[in-house]
Chains A and B, each alone.
Chain A
Amino acid sequence: MTLRFDKLGVVIAAIVAYAAFAAPFATFRANRIVPGQARSVLEALPAALGTLLLAILIIGGIVALLRTPLVLRLAASVITLAALAILIGVAGGLLTPAGNTFARIAPASGFWLLIFAFTLLLADVLTRLDLSPSARVGVLAVAALAIGALLVSGSWDSLSILKEYASRADSFWAEGSKHITLALGSLAAAVVAGVPLGILCHRVEALRAGVLNVLNIIQTIPSIALFGLLIAPLGWIAAHVPGAAAAGIRGIGTAPAFVALFLYSLLPVVANTVVGLAGVPRAANDAARGMGMTDRQRLFDVEFPLAFPVILTGIRIVLVQNIGLATIAALIGGGGFGVFVFQGVGQTAMDLVLLGAVPTVALAFAAAIILDAVIEMTSTKRRADSE
């Protein structure tokens, strides 16, 4: 039997080798803004645990490198990720001097690279397993529960991000809910306005090019510039329209952030509605008319159901885009996770930046997986139903 290498595994093994032996596992800093000192795996952990982790990493790297059964690769990635997650907490506790509340222990580049490498392996395994949409959402839920359990158990409490969290717990959840409200609210508004606009563009050809071009131009305006452009009109509305100021409309704050996200969301929704409707088979449309469907019946019974998966793809793009973009809202006092990012940048406190960035990335990632699963379920429903 000859040993054969897995293509992706070669890359993963190289990353693992570098990250485990050459890169720092954790960083120690005397306080939250000074530069840190690197600690390797063996320096950060007691000898027994450190050796165990290195052994697990070596085995994991070899499993990835060679062509091995999927089950083995799955087990290797899950076990390694779990060991890394648990042991970084242990390292945090050990490296913190007793009674010192200023010292900060953060995962370092080696840790992040190892997480990246084994997540890549896990993602590759899951893709090759060709899981059903509901199974993928299930995997996501299990991962979320595991991370939630580690957070609640307090095993990560000695890490720097959670120390930042501890001093801002109230505002974290308030900004988090503001972030989600901004992202989902502007998406909902864009769907309510964009789908009918897309239908109109589909039916009235004269409108199509004009509307899509305007939306394209809006899409190219940098977000900061768009906020600036919105200050004047929204300020005017607040001053001159009765009740507008009371409803929270001002030149800065949540209102312009909401409007900007809404405008950025329109193009994917409208464009995908137009594309989806244009993709309805001509013969099906002709048959629908020929059998005596009214225009409304044809729209709701034939065109819309057939275009739905494509429209949903547009909604997925918008949701993921909005979750990321909503961080910018903090610049003009709109709130959201961006608040921590910009505070952190201002204070050169990288841990605070991560407190804003990590939940944003996690939310966007989860939204993408869930919506992908929904899209696949709606477009393959026909097939699955009949089996």
Chain B
Amino acid sequence: MIEIEGITKRYNGTAVVDDVSMIVEPRTIAVIVGTSGSGKTTLLRMINRLVEPTAGVIKLDGADNRSLPGYQLRRSIGYAIQGHGLFPHRTVAQNIGTVPLLLGWDKDRIKARVEELMTLYQLDPQAYGPRYPHELSGGQQQRVGVARALAAEPNVLLMDEPFGALDPIIRTKAQEDLLAIQKRFGTTIVLVTHDMEEAVHMGDKIAVMDAGKLLQYARPAEILARPANGFVETLVGSSERPFRLLSLGRVRDAVEPGGAEGEAIPGDASQRDALAELLWTGRPALPVKGADGKPLGRVTVEGLVKRARPA
């Protein structure tokens, strides 16, 4: 759990982060979104004390984050940044093993952990371990960056626009991978982005920041349905809003009794995908199948359109 209480950061009298308070529940993902210069990165960097706050307290699992020297604190917190920041003079395996080495793990344990993470990220340890970062593709480099951040099994992972440099297809894959790994390890993640789409997709809760202030901190559906003010509404994007709201729900939850013609859509696909399919093929309804392939019922254009508006 991360408790941020009344955090302020001033540079030469100007508040970059202004009296922000929020709580990130354990094993959830909090996404901080805002335009550039909104203070989102500074807020993130105060959690692991790369930036020292002017006022306020941040507690990690109840303990003040100033109770340890900064470098020791940072070894216990994962950190991944845009453009990955891999060390160009070290191999992939050495890069991933950075924090375990700093923590003084023994060789075998580091090797085992590096191989475990590389396998998890679909990088063959034998083939890729001895390579240097510049020999990898952008997507591979990004995966190594996240693997490195997770190497010492941190409870908390901080990510500053980790997918910013990726093309859309690899980006979607990286997001899915991160969600799967977050589920598997139960890591608490704070992720900074300027992309609302990413925020809605990834976040259990979204924090919207502007000019150093926290404007709204709520679940994605809440942010979409009831933006706190004009700025949040603009950020949410009024033309995108219904589709983003639909993207939060699963087809399974929109099923109506009855049947329909054509290929069935899986129950755990997003309602947005279902609506897109219906609009594209010009049909009024789609059959829905469960994970076991059995028919669950159908979704209709009418039913989905109702759900594209806040209740």
Q: Is the interface of A mostly helix, strand, loop or mixed?
A: helix
Q: Does A347 contact B (CB under 8 A)?
A: no
Q: Are the C-beta atoms of B134 and A382 separated by less than 8 Å?
A: yes
Let me know if A386 and B130 touch, CB within 8 A: yes
Q: How far is the CB of B309 from chain A (nearest CB, A)?
A: 42
Q: Does A193 contact B (CB under 8 A)?
A: no
What is the chain A residue whose CB lies nearest that of B145? A287
* Residue A126 is within 8 A (CB to CB) of chain B in the complex: no
Return the chain A residue nearest B103 by Cβ.
A292
What range describes how many residues of A lie at the interface? Answer: 20 to 34
Contact A286 B87 (CB under 8 A): no
- Closest residue of chain A to B131, judged by CB? A386
Interface residues of B in 70-111 (CB under 8 A from A): 71-76, 79, 81-89, 91, 98-99, 102
B44 CB to nearest A CB, Å: 10
Closest chain A residue to B45, Cβ basis: A290
Q: What is the CA–CA distance of A130 and B74 in the complex, to the nearest angstrom?
A: 46
Residues from chain A with a CB closer than 8 A to the CB of B135 are 386
State the CA gap A305–B83 with chains docked (Å).
Answer: 20
The residues in A between 268 and 311 inclusive whose CB is less than 8 angstroms from any CB of B are: 281, 283-294, 297, 302, 305-306
Chain A residues positioned under 8 Å from B23 (CB to CB): none
**Are A283 and B130 interface neighbours, CB within 8 A?**
no
| B71 and A294 contact, CB distance less than 8 A | yes
Do residues A284 and B132 form an inter-chain contact, with CB atoms below 8 A?
A: no
Distance A286 CA – B74 CA, assembled complex (angstroms): 12
B55 on interface, CB distance cutoff 8 Å:
no
Query: Does A289 contact B74, Cβ atoms closer than 8 Å?
Result: yes
Chain A residues 233 to 276 lying within 8 A of chain B, measured CB to CB, are none
B181 within 8 A of A: no
Contact A291 B75 (CB under 8 A): yes
Chain A residue with the shortest CB-CB distance to B70: A292
Q: Does A383 contact B (CB under 8 A)?
A: yes
**Interface-central residue, B72, B73, B74, B76, by most chain A CB under 10 Å:** B74
Contacts of A283 in B (CB 8 A): 81-85
Could you tell me if A284 and B102 are in contact, using CB atoms closer than 8 angstroms? no
On whether A291 and B79 interact (CB within 8 A), knowing A281-B88, A306-B88, A306-B89, the answer reads yes
Q: Does B148 have its Cβ within 8 Å of any Cβ on chain A?
A: yes
Interchain nearest-CB distance for B149 vs A (Å): 8
Interchain CB contact under 8 A, B102 and A291: yes
Interface residues of B in 146-182 (CB under 8 A from A): 148-149, 158
Which residues does chain A contribute within 8 Å of B63, judged by CB atoms? none
Q: Do A292 and B84 form a contact, CB below 8 Å, given A297-B102, A305-B89, A306-B89?
A: no
Check A290/B79 contact, CB under 8 A, given A382-B88, A386-B131: yes
Given the complex, which residues of A lie within 8 Å of B98, measured CB to CB?
Answer: 291
Rounded to whole Å, the gap between the CB of A290 and the closest CB of chain B is: 4
Indicate with 1 or 0, residue by residue over A26-46, a CB within 8 angstroms of chain B CB atoms. 000000000000000000000
State whether B50 touches A289 (Cβ < 8 A).
yes
With A382-B88, A382-B134 already in contact, the answer to whether A292 and B71 are too (CB < 8 A) is yes
Q: Is the CB of A290 within 8 A of B71?
A: no
Tell me the smallest distance from the CB of A291 to a CB of chain B, in Å: 5
Known interface pairs A284-B86, A382-B88; A291-B132 also in contact (CB < 8 Å)? no
26 contacts between A and B (CB under 8 A): A281-B88, A283-B82, A283-B83, A284-B86, A286-B85, A287-B79, A287-B84, A289-B50, A290-B50, A290-B79, A290-B85, A290-B158, A291-B79, A291-B148, A291-B149, A292-B72, A292-B74, A292-B99, A297-B102, A305-B89, A382-B132, A382-B134, A383-B132, A383-B134, A386-B91, A386-B131
9 additional A-B pairs beyond A293-B102, A382-B88, A386-B131, beta carbons within 8 Å, are A286-B81, A287-B85, A288-B85, A288-B87, A291-B75, A291-B99, A291-B148, A292-B75, A305-B89
Residues of A within 8 A of B (CB): 281, 283-294, 297, 302, 305-306, 382-383, 385-386
Identify the 4 closest CB pairs spanning chains A and B, nearest first.
A287-B85, A292-B75, A290-B79, A283-B85
